[in-house]
């Protein structure tokens, strides 16, 4: 079946629909898939559109070979610290993940940093290659955990591992991420996308109403209610905005950007 290209939003976000699966492809390889505000806006539009369309049953996120996402673009973080905090599109993206009714599947091959890791906590099925690396260096950047991760991660993997991931900023390899419950299955390099698509197609073929009910029950059953999650995201966003403007964060952003210019 021919793929239906639906994205007119942004060249770094390529959206396709095939057999009920909407693939949201983060495609900014030269910057390791660091996410700009415009990319978030395009993903928000895709999620919203996919939630509304009858021909979409499942959302699938994928990145580039070697880089799922290097997290929020640090140039944008710097600008946000000088402006009004996290851009609205970022917040809408976080809430879009938290409120999606259709299942979220992810294919991770390579780096998953910051939001590249925390968005996975919202996903129902995550497939990762052995070379994948999961890291949330929030504190090293003078920031605090976001995307509801301060609620989702401790409930998912226990306080100790969540603290190690979110506060110590330690990298989790794919096997560790699997044992922490971030990843469903580690599959061979080069087979991640196929594995994720196979699972997404299988979900897309399920009876629609049963899928929606089951997804909602499971998504809000073991980890957090949607209301808890939205309240925590709001709390984190407010604190994150303060941190973006802090001297600690601004020094960390300047250090990273100075390094990358060398
Ligand atoms: N924001 C903006 N630019 C980023 C970026 C980010 N989050 N991550 C990577 N880039 C850019 C680099 O500046 C570099 O740009 P340049 O080629 O114009 O200099 C390019 O992407 C490639 O990255 P580079 O650092 O050269 O690749 P690497 O393989 O050595 O390292 C990372 C990759 C992702 C480990 C490293 O770039 C990194 O630590 N990035 C920041 C991650 C981060 O802190 N994200 C925010 C989390 S809250």
- Residue 7, pLDDT > 60, answer no
At CB < 8 A and 24+ separation, what contacts does 160-166 make? Answer: 165/117, 165/134, 165/135, 165/136, 166/136, 166/138
**Averaged pLDDT score across all residues of the chain:** 93
By residue count, the chain amounts to 262
Residues 104, 127: Cα–Cα separation, whole Å: 12
- Sign of the torsion angle spanned by Cα atoms 250, 242, 98, 126: positive
Does the beta carbon of 197 sit less than 6 angstroms from any atom of ligand 1?
no
Q: Phi and psi for 116 in degrees, rounded to 5? A: -60, -30
Query: Exposed, middle or buried, 169 (CB in 10 Å: 0-12/13-18/19+)?
Result: middle
- Say what the pLDDT of residue 8 is: 56
Closest ligand 1 atom to the C-alpha of 261? 19
pLDDT exceeding 70 applies to what percent of the chain?
A: 94
Q: Which of 17-21, 98-102, 130-134, 224-228 has the lowest mean pLDDT?
A: 224-228
Ligand 1 mean position to 20 CA, how many Å? Answer: 34
Determine if ligand 1 sits within 6 Å of the CB of residue 118.
no
Q: Answer yes or no: is pLDDT of 41 > 80.
A: yes
With a CB cutoff of 8 Å and minimum separation 6, the contacts of 234 are: none
- DSSP for 162-187? HHIIIII---EEHHHHHHHTS-SEE-
**Over pLDDT 90: what percentage of the chain?**
85
Query: What is the residue with the minimal CA distance to atom 16 of ligand 1?
Result: 260
pLDDT in tens, 163-218: 999 999 999 999 999 999 999 999 998 999 999 999 999 999 999 999 989 988 88
Q: Whose CA is nearest to atom 6 of ligand 1?
A: 73
* CB-CB neighbours of 210 under 10 Å: 9
**Which amino acid residue places its CA nearest to atom 19 of ligand 1?**
260
Give CA–CA dist 79/74, Å, rounded.
Answer: 9
C-alpha distances in Å from residue 107, one per residue of 163, 176, 234: 25, 17, 27
Residue-level pLDDT at 217:
86
Tally of CB atoms within 10 A around 222: 10
Please give the full DSSP string across 12-62, using - where no structure is assigned: TEEEEEETTEEEEEE--GGGTTPBPHHHHHHHHHHHHHHHH-TT--EEEEE
**pTM strictly above 0.85:** yes
57 alpha carbon to ligand 1 midpoint, in Å? Answer: 33
Q: How far is the CA of 219 from the centre of ligand 1 (A)?
A: 32
Structure tokens at 7: 């994205």
The protein residue with its alpha carbon nearest to ligand 1, atom 10, reads 31
Ligand 1 pocket check for 59: Cβ under 6 Å: no
Per-residue pLDDT band at 223 (split at 50, 70, 90): low
Report d(CA 48, CA 44) in Å as an integer: 6
**Ligand 1 binding pocket mutation candidate from 32, 63, 253 (most atoms within 8 A of CB):** 32
pLDDT in tens, 87-143: 999 999 999 999 999 999 999 999 999 999 999 999 999 999 999 999 999 999 999
Q: Is the CB of 146 under 6 A from ligand 1?
A: no
Q: CA–CA separation, 245 vs 202, rounded Å?
A: 45
Cα-to-centroid distance, 24 and ligand 1 (Å): 21
Q: Where are the alpha helices (DSSP H) in the chain?
A: 37-52, 74-82, 88-99, 115-118, 149-157, 159-163, 174-180, 192-204, 208-221, 226-244, 247-261
Mutate which of 37, 38, 40, 70 for ligand 1? The one with the most ligand atoms within 8 Å of its CB, which is 70
- Is the Cβ atom of 73 under 6 angstroms away from ligand 1? yes
End-to-end CA separation in angstroms for the chain? 47
């Amino acid at each position: 079946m021919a793929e239906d290209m639906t994205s007119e939003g942004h060249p770094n976000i390529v959206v396709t629909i095939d057999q009920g699966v909407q693939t949201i492809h983060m495609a900014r390889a030269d910057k390791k898939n660091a996410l700009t505000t415009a990319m978030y806006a395009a993903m928000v539009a895709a999620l919203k559109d996919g939630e509304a369309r009858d021909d979409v049953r499942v959302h699938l996120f994928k990145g580039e070979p070697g880089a799922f996402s290097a997290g929020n673009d640090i140039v944008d973080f710097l600008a946000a610290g000088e402006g009004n905090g996290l851009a609205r599109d970022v917040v809408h993206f976080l809430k879009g993940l938290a409120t999606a009714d259709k299942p979220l599947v992810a294919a991770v091959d390579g780096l998953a940093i910051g939001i590249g890791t925390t968005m996975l906590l919202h996903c129902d099925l995550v497939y990762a290659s052995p070379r994948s690396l999961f890291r949330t260096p929030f504190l090293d950047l003078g920031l605090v955990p976001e995307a509801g991760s301060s609620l989702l991660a401790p409930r998912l993997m226990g306080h100790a591992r969540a603290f190690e991931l979110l506060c110590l900023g330690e990298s989790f390899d794919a096997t560790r991420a699997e044992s922490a419950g971030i990843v469903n299955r580690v599959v061979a390099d080069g087979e991640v996308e196929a594995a994720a698509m196979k699972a997404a197609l299988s979900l897309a073929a399920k009876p629609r109403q049963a899928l929606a009910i089951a997804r909602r029950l499971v998504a809000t059953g073991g980890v957090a209610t949607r209301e808890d999650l939205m309240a925590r995201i709001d709390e984190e966003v407010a604190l994150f905005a303060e941190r973006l403007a802090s001297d600690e964060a601004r020094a960390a952003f300047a250090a990273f950007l100075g390094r990358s210019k060398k």
